[in-house]
Amino acid sequence: MASPSINSSEEINWDEIGFGIIPTDTMCLMKCSTEEADTFSEATLVPYGNLHLLPSAGILNHGQGVIEGLKAYRTKDGHILLFRPEENGTRLKIGAERMCMPSPSVEQFVDAVKQTVLANKRWVPPVGKGSLYIRPLLMGTGSVLGIAPAPECTLLIYVTPVKTYHTGPLNLVIKDKLYRAICGSGGTGGVKSVVNYSPAYKALKEARAEGFSDILYLDAATGKFIEELSSCNIFLVKGKAISTPTAGGNILPGITRKSIIEIAIDLGYKVTERAVAVDELMEADEVFCTGTAVGVNPVASITHNNIRAEYKTGAEAVSQKLLQTLVGIQTGHIQDTRGWTLQI
């Protein structure tokens, strides 16, 4: 969705924001030279704006980078809550290791996120009007020509106010022979490498031209099992049983995914993480997807080989109950008994 052109939070019509970039006040930078000790500098807050990069920076030439995504929420009494930021710090470390980069400690990461959000607190939407999306990007900023890790890495954190990624139930399509990420257990599908996202553009462009919302990708090795969408994980509901493809390998261990599994178990569902065959889509009562950007989004239909399966959506759907519980915890409406939120 195109973002309204907004220059100051005083002028924001919060009802007009979608999922796009609205420039905010401040971004955060932390640098690390891999030729010296692999330790990151203190977080430096600078005005949001252009970066100075050499043409030979690793991120520009070879895509040496990992992203994270998390959100800050406004509570009804005006406080700001982060949702499970230490999980993002831990996942960033795993992604960094796969992409041959050093990473800040989880504590340094969470502190940098806090500082960035507090410096932009006027951009955290009022309760019910969205959230502040936080995008950490760890990248090789040092100069390289050959295939080698950059000698300097930078963690950049910027923020923008958003509503959810999608605005209604999704109509998905499965396209044979187009895969989401570099596949297989040795690939990067299971980490948030920047190189996992642009390969989805072609399939997504085709799908949108055909009237679909997104793609549901299958495993490249056999084409028999479902993996995830371009930007989120997937769940199937059949009676009181909920299944989701096992994370790791090619499937991103989503933090919303992990949270929804716990919430669903608490609500009395039996949740299984396993290989989910594409044929099972025909039998499911409900399908939904999860992610930081998408939240919990119902799927209305999935089309595969020109056969369209339709699913329950709406107020009575399981996905709706899960979403309400998750958002309730994230915004402080429901008591957080698990220590998932961090007030800043």
**Which residues are the active-site residues?**
192
Q: Does 292 bind ligand COI (CB under 6 A)?
A: yes
Between 292 and 330, whose beta carbon lies closer to ligand COI? 292
User: Six-digit token pair at 2?
Assistant: 């195109």
Report the alpha-carbon distance of residue 27 to residue 187 in Å, rounded: 31
Contacts of 301 (CB under 8 A, 6+ apart): 171, 172, 308, 309, 310, 311
Between 85 and 142, whose beta carbon lies closer to ligand COI? 85
Q: Does 197 bind ligand COI (CB under 6 A)?
A: yes
Of the listed pieces 211-219, 289-297, 306-314, 323-331, which binds ligand COI according to CB under 6 A? 289-297
Torsion-angle region of 59 (φ positive above 0: left; ψ -120 to 50: alpha; else: beta): alpha
Q: Which residues pair with 238 in a beta bridge?
A: 241
Report whether 153 contacts 141 (CB < 8 A): yes
Per-residue contact string for residues 46-85; x = within reach of ligand COI by CB under 6 A: ---------------------x-x----------------
Query: For residues 221-240, which are near ligand COI according to CB under 6 A?
Result: 231
Q: Does 189 bind ligand COI (CB under 6 A)?
A: no
H or E element: which one contains 259? helix 255-266
Per-residue contact string for residues 114-153; x = within reach of ligand COI by CB under 6 A: ----------------------------------------
Between 112 and 255, whose beta carbon lies closer to ligand COI? 255
Minimum gap (Å) between residue 233 Cβ and ligand COI: 10
H or E element: which one contains 159? strand 152-162
Q: Does 291 bind ligand COI (CB under 6 A)?
A: yes
Provide φ and ψ at 60, rounded to 5°.
Answer: -75, -35
Cα dihedral 91→93→96→101 (10° resolution): 170
Footprint of ligand COI (CB under 6 A): 67, 69, 197, 231, 291-293
